[in-house]
Structure 1
Amino acid sequence: MSSKSTTRGTDAWVERISVREMPALCSTVRMLEQMANDDTASLANLGQSVLHDHGLTTRILRVANSVTYRRSGTQITTMSRAAVLLGFNALKHICITATLVDSLLRNREISSGVYERLLRLMAQSFHAGMVSRMLLDAYSEETQEEAFIATLLRHLGESAFWSSGGPMAEELDERLRQLDSPQQEDEIVREALGTTFSKLTIGLAQSWNMGKLLISSLQDPQRRTPELQAIGQADNFSALMLDPRTTPAQLQQGIATLAKTMELDVAEVRQRLKRCNYEAVRMVSSYGAKMLTPFLDKGANALLQPEAEIPVEAVESNEALQLRMLRELTFMTMEKADINLMIHTALEGISRGVGMDRVLVLMLSRDKKKLTPRFIAGRDGELLRQRFTLDVSERNNLFSQLLLNQEPVWVTSLNEPRWSPLVSPEMRAAVSHKGFLLAPIVIDQQAIGVFYADRADSGKVLSRDDFFSFTHFVQQTNLCLSAVVKNKEGSAASN
């Protein structure tokens, strides 16, 4: 076993992480906190202090120009401009987060199992940060920002341990995977490290002067201040949503708990959570951590599972739900929402409103030779993801013809002479033999993907009305997507 096996106790691990595992993050946080307590330090000093690190500067400017932080139509191209427009706290937090991401993902020697655990934990932290902002929507931007960074760093000790890798991390990862109950985790971790992940995070936060809110959220989580409640609830819900063991009923209960806190309807909170998810996707992309998006996508897909929607469907007709989701798409167009969020909303409308058992959004690869599932509503998501990764390099198959012709298709039976020659063996193994619906995703006359829907589980027969409603959703989505892209191109040209 490596020399890590001789490192025991909170203080020993704090020193090891600060000096050997994550010295860049340690020095950055301490420098920023020192500047925050220096009355003579200026925003210009803050911007200047990171210019020596070209990679960090690039990431900070990319994040500063993201939807989350960009507060004007002007492109931010310099650190001094970012400092003036964003303010000290926001820029400080971007610096910390950018350095955190870089430090955690720097070690390429860790095993695949440990790496997957680290990525899931980081994705959970970003998502929880966005949820804490949502819960504090009525408070100032500064309060939301402080809560976001405290939530993001809540698992810093655990993340730092996994990112360092080595035999000890691999052995602990294996032991934790074999546990039947998560309540046993603290005891297993304490036995291996001589401390817990929570105590390690507190130790790092105190050593690096990372602010009182983070420390309070861990030391005194029962205090009923709005910020601490938001941090705790956001962290708990994101852990629930990204845990593959979570059942639809448990997820529904988690959403209901948030709805009670926010004093909002469950359906409204569900929509806000979807937006949080996509804001998290955009944010991790801005920080150069796109490898986190598959975990966030799985979390978003969990919100679409039919079992989790029973309370809504019981009181709302399919027609009313379709109308509401179509209005939501139109509203998103006016709001210039994220394209992925619009597609996901259409997916939910087709799944719930039209009443489909399985709905997939397949996106075309850069070389236009393959379709890959991006979003899935239905059971056995991982199996569907594998089966619906389809080759469209040849023109003599159903999906490539759909992309070429850009017209919706209703396949009633694979045995029909019209369709049988166009269905390859891999497609035959994926699609429903009882019939299915297809429609292209088209932006500016270019097909970029495909909507697929069927009732393979229930066996309920597809009707002309189903095809009309399905087509209506996809056509409306295409119109909305084209409008958003056109607006973005117009804004870019004017700048």
Structure 2
Amino acid sequence: MSEPAVENISEPLSLEEWTSVLCDRDMPIFSSTAFSIDAILRDDKKGAMDLANVILHDPNLTAKLLKMSNSSYYNVSRQKMVTVSRAIIVLGSELIRELTLACSFFEAILPAANRERANQEIARAVHAAVQAKSLALSVNDPSPEEVFIAALLHQIGNVAFWCFSGKQGERLLSLINKENCTLEEAEKQVLGFKLTDLAVSLCKTWKLGGLIEDSVKKGKQVNPRVKLVSLGYVITDALKEGHQSKQYAECVDKISVLTGKSKQSVEALMVQNTDTAVNIAKQFGAVSASRLINKEAFQAEEEESRVPEEDKKLVQIQILQEITGIMSGKIDINLLFEMVMEGIQRGLGIDRALFALLAQDKKSMKEKLSLGWRKEFYDQKIIFSISQSPLNLFCLGLKTPQGLMIKGVSDGVLFTDADKRVIGQHDCFLMPVCSSEQPIGLIYADRSFSSQPFTDDEFNGFKHFVQQANIGLAMYRMQGKK
């Protein structure tokens, strides 16, 4: 099945315009994720749970990341992971960070028009990334996953341009095919800049940094690991030229010297990596591109690569089992609430969920953990006012230990003007989080984007998750007193 065509609005006319349009109009999902990850990495106070929050804000990204995390390519231990929190614990935050960037990148580009040139660039990038990671493993590189993501995004300028270009892309292809023009000459003539310049500009704007930025920089490189990224593309291009070509023979010699492996072993590994790249592309959802990596190896139907819609009941059961496991030993209270919130959002199909703590003056509550909220800034915190006169839904929620299901229309009197400015006026669930039977905050959930009505069964599921949070909090307090 081909991807839906993207309406071609007005095309940018300069490097600066292309950078701006790709970031703001065409790839906002990736922009938001990249900026959020950068903010987390720059803040010493932020850690694995903050990374999980970034992922859980996007249900599609969450599903794709969990699918990749459970694949044999990444999950060597074969431990089943049903929550993002568990994936971070098992695989480590560094690997999950790299996977998040990769999955978010594909989330951003795959809805674009199904252009042949775009698929060629995606296929080359995935194939080179797998080959580069294999090289990194062979030479005992400290972070093969970092090499993988750097190779995957090395041609980010080319991939982004061909996914979202219109008439300019057509003129480029016409120059290359009909006028015997080199790609760089055509780029300069049509765009006024080279696509490698666009890669550099996007890296800086998205603050990708590290090995990704080093690999797209121009001039002499001081980072020796960049060589692994470049060799990934050398291998990919050599395989495309064929086994009988001079380029292929030189490539095999070069890899043999670097890794200390025999030429036969190098050739066998290159073929094996090609098959792996086909599967990786399909897992990312790049089915059309996977066919271009190795047409002979492609056998699975397009349906297999899609991320299946989650069975919400099954997700609830699985996450509740994870929560039970957490409470069977020494409780990590942050992880417990992270899983409770993930269970509410994914298990009940919630658009927005928030855990807010009561302020000392008991006149307001401030966000401790939120999922699904569209914020202008990643660090922006949501604050609720508690109003007794007139009574608002948050004040009533704190006083109702059995939980509330509020109707946005019929219970409209509970929404003050201040509430409407913060959350709008939607059907929602509320239930207090208590310590020693005293409310210390509450959990709020709504479907502000989808506007789907809630059911009694979903309300019961919500209450069950919050009850687990309260039980876990009580056990945590008891453990602290021992």
Alignment TM-score, normalising by the size of structure 2: 0.57
Q: How much has 1:125 moved relative to structure 2? A: 0.7
Specify the code of the residue in structure 1 equivalent to 2:87.
A
Q: Does the C-alpha gap of structure 1 residues 83 and 365 become closer, same or farther in structure 2, counting only changes over 3 Å?
A: closer
Q: Does the C-alpha gap of structure 1 residues 162 and 247 become closer, same or farther in structure 2, counting only changes over 3 Å?
A: farther
Contact 2:12 2:18 in 1 (8 A): no
CA displacement 1:116-173 (0-9 Å, x = unmatched): 1111111111111111122222455652111111111011111111111322212212
Partner of residue 135, structure 1: 135
SS of residue in 1 equivalent to 2:294: helix
Structure 2 CA distance for aligned equivalents of residues 203 and 364 of structure 1: 37
Specify the code of the residue in structure 2 equivalent to 1:266.
K
Bigger drift between 63-72 and 130-139 goes to 130-139
- Give 2:74's match in structure 1, choosing from 66, 69, 75: 69
Q: How much has 1:174 moved relative to structure 2? A: 2.5
- Give 1:30's match in structure 2, choosing from 19, 25, 35: 35
Structure 2 CA distance for aligned equivalents of residues 364 and 45 of structure 1: 36
Contact 2:278 2:291 in 1 (8 A): no
1:85 aligns with 2:90: yes
Specify the code of the residue in structure 2 equivalent to 1:150.
A
Partner of residue 475, structure 1: none
Q: How does 1:47-196 map to 2 (within 5 A)?
A: 47-108=52-113, 115-138=115-138, 142-178=142-178, 180=180, 184-196=182-194
Structure 2 unaligned blocks of 5 or more: 1-7, 303-482
SS of residue in 2 equivalent to 1:29: helix
Q: How does 1:284-363 map to 2 (within 5 A)?
A: 284-298=281-295
1:44 aligns with 2:41: no
Q: How many residues align?
A: 295
Q: How does 1:168-247 map to 2 (within 5 A)?
A: 168-178=168-178, 180=180, 184-220=182-218, 222-223=220-221, 225-242=223-240
Contact 1:66 1:283 in 2 (8 A): no
1:7 aligns with 2:30: no
Contact 1:64 1:70 in 2 (8 A): yes
Contact 2:30 2:101 in 1 (8 A): yes
Contact 2:131 2:232 in 1 (8 A): yes
Contact 1:4 1:168 in 2 (8 A): no
Q: How does 1:384-423 map to 2 (within 5 A)?
A: none
Contact 1:120 1:242 in 2 (8 A): no
Q: How much has 1:228 moved relative to structure 2? A: 1.3
Specify the code of the residue in structure 1 equivalent to 2:78.
G
Contact 2:129 2:149 in 1 (8 A): yes
Contact 2:69 2:75 in 1 (8 A): yes
Contact 2:33 2:54 in 1 (8 A): no
Specify the code of the residue in structure 1 equivalent to 2:189.
E
Structure 2 CA distance for aligned equivalents of residues 164 and 46 of structure 1: 29
Contact 1:61 1:82 in 2 (8 A): yes
CA displacement 1:37-84 (0-9 Å, x = unmatched): 211112122112222321111100000011121032321111110111
CA displacement 1:69-103 (0-9 Å, x = unmatched): 10323211111101111222211111111121121
Q: Does the C-alpha gap of structure 1 residues 213 and 145 become closer, same or farther in structure 2, counting only changes over 3 Å?
A: same
Structure 1 CA distance for aligned equivalents of residues 284 and 142 of structure 2: 21
CA displacement 1:372-405 (0-9 Å, x = unmatched): xxxxxxxxxxxxxxxxxxxxxxxxxxxxxxxxxx
Contact 2:252 2:267 in 1 (8 A): yes
CA displacement 1:202-237 (0-9 Å, x = unmatched): 110011110132222232564364311111121222
Q: How much has 1:364 moved relative to structure 2? A: 10
Q: Does the C-alpha gap of structure 1 residues 76 and 164 become closer, same or farther in structure 2, counting only changes over 3 Å?
A: same
* Residue identity (%): 21
Structure 1 unaligned blocks of 5 or more: 302-339, 341-361, 367-495
Q: Does the C-alpha gap of structure 1 residues 163 and 72 become closer, same or farther in structure 2, counting only changes over 3 Å?
A: same
Structure 2 CA distance for aligned equivalents of residues 236 and 364 of structure 1: 28
1:266 aligns with 2:266: no
Partner of residue 256, structure 1: 253
Contact 1:89 1:142 in 2 (8 A): no
Q: Does the C-alpha gap of structure 1 residues 101 and 19 become closer, same or farther in structure 2, counting only changes over 3 Å?
A: same
Contact 1:59 1:287 in 2 (8 A): yes
Contact 1:158 1:201 in 2 (8 A): yes
Structure 2 CA distance for aligned equivalents of residues 101 and 248 of structure 1: 33
Q: How does 1:345-384 map to 2 (within 5 A)?
A: none
Specify the code of the residue in structure 2 equivalent to 1:28.
T
SS of residue in 2 equivalent to 1:223: coil
Q: How much has 1:201 moved relative to structure 2? A: 0.3
